[in-house]
Chains A and B, each alone.
Chain A
Amino acid sequence: MDLQKIIKKYSENLDFLELNLRSSRNEAISLNDGLTNTSSSFGNGHSVRALFKGAWGFSASNNESVEKTIMKAVENAKFLSKTNKFKIKKFELNPIKGDEKSLCRKNPFDIDKKEKIKNLMVIEKEIKKDDKIKSASLAYSFSNINSHLVNSFGSDVSFERTYSYAKCVVFAKQGEKVEIGYESLGKKQGYEFIDSLDFSMYQNAVNKAKKLLSSKPAPAGKFKVIMDSIMAGTFFHEAIGHACEADAVLQNNSVFKNRIGKKIGAEYVNVYDSPIEEKESTGNYEYDDEGIKSGKLCLIKNGVLENYMHSVETATRMGVEPTGNGRKENITGNPIPRMSITVVNSGTWKTDELIKDTKEGIFLKGCSNGCTDTLKGDFTFEASEGIIIRNGELTDETIKGACLMGNTKTILNEIDACTDKQIMDWSASRCGKAGAYVPVQSKCPSIRLLKCLIGGVQ
C-alpha cells in the first residue's frame, strides 16, 4: 500500500491529514504458585485524523479498509466544522523522514516458551525457600510494536520497538497478617533483558513483604522527609510533570499557567523530560507518535519554569516548536503531551550526611502509585516502605502505608537538598492519562523535603 499516494488523494481541501498503521504482538507468561497462565495477542489496525476548517475528526479501526476509515475521519471533521467554535489555526510542519529501528538483539518471540516457564519455575522455587512466603506470582511479558505514520506535510516516519518486562508479586504471611511485596523491571530490549536479570529483583520483593510484616503503620502528621531516588522520580512526575503538560495549560487546568520564566522552586531544582536519556529505557523514543524527533527538554532550570511539554497541536497554538512529547498508547486515541523519562539533576549531599543532618524524620523508599489534580495542584502517592530517622541515624523501625500528600504550588519550596547521585529507576511503570497508558521511567537523586504531610494511622 502506497500510503503517501493515499494521503495525497484524500488530503485535498483538508488542513491536515495523518494516517498511522500499527501492528503489535504481545506475549505474557506467568506462573502463579506453579500454575501457568499463558497468552498471546497479535493484530493490526490503523487510525486517521483529519483537520478541516479548524475542526478535528478521528477514526480508527481494525476491521475496515484504510480508505473507509479516512473517509469516516474526514466526515467527522466536516460534521464538527459546521458547528464548531473551537478552531485550530492552519499550521505548517516540516516534513520528517525517519525510521527508528528496534534495539532488540534476541527476539523474545523466537525464544522457546518452555524455557521461559522453566526460568520462572526455578525462581519460584528459590523464592519459596523462605518459609514466610506463602504465595507468589511471577511474570514475563513481551511486546513488539510496528508503526508507520504519514501525513499531508510529507512526513513518513516508522518505528519498531520491542519491550521486555519481568514482574513479581509475593505474599508473606505471619499469623493473620498478609503483606505484599511487588517489584518490576522493564527495558526497551529483547530477551537479552531477561538473560541479564539476576535474583536481586525477586529478593527485593521478598524482603519488602517480610519487612512489612513487622512494620508499624505510618505516623500521621507533618514530617521532615527524605525520598529515595525512586520515590523522588514519582514525586517529580506527579507533582511537577503533569502540570507542565501543555494541554493542561491550554485547558486552564494547570497551576503553571502563565508561569514560564517565573521562579517556582528552590534554585537547585533542575528538571528535564528526556526521551533520549537512556536508550534502553521504556520511556525512550527517537520519534514521538506524531513523527516529531525527540530531544532533552528542560522543564525547570535553577528553580525557574522554562518549558511546557508539547504535541504538534499545543505547540502550534502556543506559538512554539513541538517538543516531541506527542504520545499515544495505541490506535484508539490521538497523541497528547505526555512525559517520557523524568530527569532531575543531582546535588552535592552524600546520602549518609543527609540522614545525619536530618536528625528526626522519615526516610521513604520506593513508590507504588500516585495521582495528581493539575488544576488545584494536589497530588498524592504512597511509599512502599519507610524508615524512622532518629538522632541523625536510620533506626530499625520500619513503617508501612505512608501516603504523602502535597500541593505543586508550595512543595517545590520545601525541597532543600538533593544527593549527589542520579539513579535510574527501571521499574515497569506506566502513566495513565485520558484513558491511555504509556511507558515512563525516571532518573533522579534522593531529595529532602523540609515539611511534608503524611497520612498514617497512628
Chain B
Amino acid sequence: MKELLKKIINEGNKLGYVEAGVAVQKSSELEYENELVRNVKNLSLDELRIRITLKDGRCGVSISSPEEWKKCLDDAYTLAKISNPDKDFKSIPELKKAFPVKKQFLKLISSDNLIKFSDELINSAKKYDKRISIEDISISQGNSNLFLMNSNNIYNNEESGLLSASLSVKCGGTNAFESHSSFNMFKPREIAEKASELCINSLNPKKYKTVKTSVIMDYYAFSSLVSACLVGSLSGYNVQKKRSVFAEKMGEKVMDEKITIIDNGLMENGLFTSSRDSEGVPQQKTVLIDKGVIRNFMYDTYTALKENKESTGNCGSISSRPSVEETNFIIKKGDISFEEIVKDVKNGLYVTNVIGEHTVNPVSGDFSLPVINSFSVKNGEMSFPVKDTMISGNFFELLKNVRYIGNKYRQENSVVCPVVCFDNVQAVC
C-alpha cells in the first residue's frame, strides 16, 4: 500500500498539496433474532481518500477504491480547481514526531469463538434471573489497517482491531441495554449482569411528578448530553464560526470549578487513541476546561493555522476541510463514590439513560429528553422505577452548578466520564 500511496503523492505533487489515505477493513458479525443467531456476516472493503489543496487554498476531495486511484486523483483535482480560493489556508501538516501510544490490538477471532462468546452472554443474562429474555444482541469485530501519506513526507500506518458487544434484555414489558467495545478480549458476563439487573430493577414503574429536582446522571445519560452539545462547543471550528456558546470566552470561567475536561488522544487503551490523527498530526493531551475555566479548544491544522496556533491533533477526516473532532473526550472524575452520591440525595431522580439525544440543540444546549431505566431517589435510597418522565433544561446552565462528580470512569464512544449529580433539573411527567 505504501508504494501505491507514493505513486499517488508523486503524481499529485505536480498539481498541489496531496494527502492520501487508504483504509483496508475486514469485519465479521453475528446477527441475532432474540437469542438465536440468524446470520453470519462478513465484510471486506477498501477505501481510498484523496484530498488535493492548491496553493491558494482551493480544495477538492475524492473517495473511491485503491484501484481507481488515477480517476480519484483526477476528480479531486477537478473539484479543487472549481472551488473558491481560501485566504485562511496556509499549509497541510508538516512531519512531526509522534508520542508513543499504549494500545492493545485484537486479532480477528473465529466465528466459533464469537458464538461461544455470545452463548456466555445469553446464559449469564438468563442465569441472573429466570424472567429475563433476550430482546437483541449484536456482536461484531472489525480490523482496520489505515495508511496515510502527504506531500510533506508524513507517512503513517496503524492497524487496529475492536470487539463490540451489546445486549438488550426484556422482562414484563420493560427492557434494558448494555454494551461494551474494547481492543482487549473482555468477559461478556459483566455486560449481561448489568443489563439484567437494570431490567429487573425497572419493573413496575410508577408515575413521577413535574418538579425541579436533583438528578444523578449515569454514564449513558451524561455522555449522551456531553456528545450532543458540549463536545461541539469546544471545537475550534465552531468557536471561530461563533457557533459555540464559548466563543470569545477563552480564559473565562464558564462552568463549575469541579469540572475539568481533557481531550486525550494518547489515553491508554482509549477507543480513539492513536499516534496520529486523520491528517497525520501527532495526537496529544489537551486541557480544554481547567476547573471550570476555558484553557483551549480543539483544532485541526486548518483551523489552528487560521489563528497562528498549532493543531491539537484533532483532525477527524481528510474528506472535508476543516474537520475538527474529539479523540477521547474526558470529563475528569471526582472523589465521591456513586453510593455516597445517592446517600446524599433527599429527593431526586437517578437517570441511567435517555432517548432522542439528537433532539438536543447542539449550539444552545437546550434539551428535553424522555428518561428510560430511571429511578426515584428518596432519602438517600433508590425508591421506585419511573415511567413517562422527561428531564429538560439547558445543559450549559447545568454545568455551572454541579453537586457531585463520581470517582469512576467509563468510556462511551469518544466520551470518557464519571456519574454526575445536578440540582434543580426540571422533571416533567
Q: Which A residues contact B (CB, under 8 angstroms)?
A: 31-43, 45, 49, 55-64, 69, 72, 76-77, 79-80, 83-86, 113-114, 117, 134-135, 171, 173, 176-180, 217-218, 220-221, 247, 250-253, 332, 334, 368-371, 373, 375-376, 378, 380-382, 400-403, 405, 407, 453-457
Contact = CB atoms under 8 A, between A and B. Distances in A.
Contacts of A42: 62-64, 68, 71, 75
Interface in B358-402: 358-359, 361-364, 366-370, 372, 388, 390-394
Interface in B65-88: 65-66, 68, 71, 75-76, 78-80, 82-84, 86, 88
Contacts of B242: 134-135, 171, 173, 178
Contacts of A37: 59, 61, 320-321
A56 B136 contact: no
Given A36-B83, A41-B64, 12 more contacts: A31-B84, A39-B60, A42-B64, A76-B39, A76-B41, A79-B111, A84-B36, A178-B243, A180-B363, A375-B173, A401-B367, A456-B392
A56 B36 CA distance: 12
B359 A403 contact: yes
A433 B319 CA distance: 25
Contacts of B88: 35
Interface of B: 31, 33-34, 36-46, 58-66, 68, 71, 75-76, 78-80, 82-84, 86, 88, 111, 115, 133, 135-136, 170, 173-175, 210, 241-243, 245, 319-321, 355-356, 358-359, 361-364, 366-370, 372, 388, 390-394, 426, 428-429
What DSSP secondary structure best describes chain A's contact surface?
Answer: strand
Contact of A86 (B37, B80, B429): B37
A55 B40 CA distance: 9
A401 B361 contact: yes
A250 B135 CA distance: 11
B65 A43 contact: yes
B145 to A, nearest CB: 12
A437 B39 CA distance: 20
B359 to A, nearest CB: 4
B33 A401 contact: no
Contact of B356 (A41, A253, A380): A380
A251 B41 CA distance: 19
B356 A370 contact: yes
A39 B210 CA distance: 49
A56 B33 CA distance: 12
Contact of B355 (A32, A41, A218, A378): A378
A369 B319 CA distance: 26
Nearest to A377: B173
A401 B392 contact: yes
B46 A39 contact: no
A63 B390 contact: no
Given A405-B390, A456-B368, A76 B40 contact: yes
Give the 10 A-B residue pairs with the shortest CB-CB distance, closest first: A455-B390, A455-B368, A86-B36, A41-B63, A403-B368, A382-B359, A39-B61, A76-B40, A38-B79, A56-B39
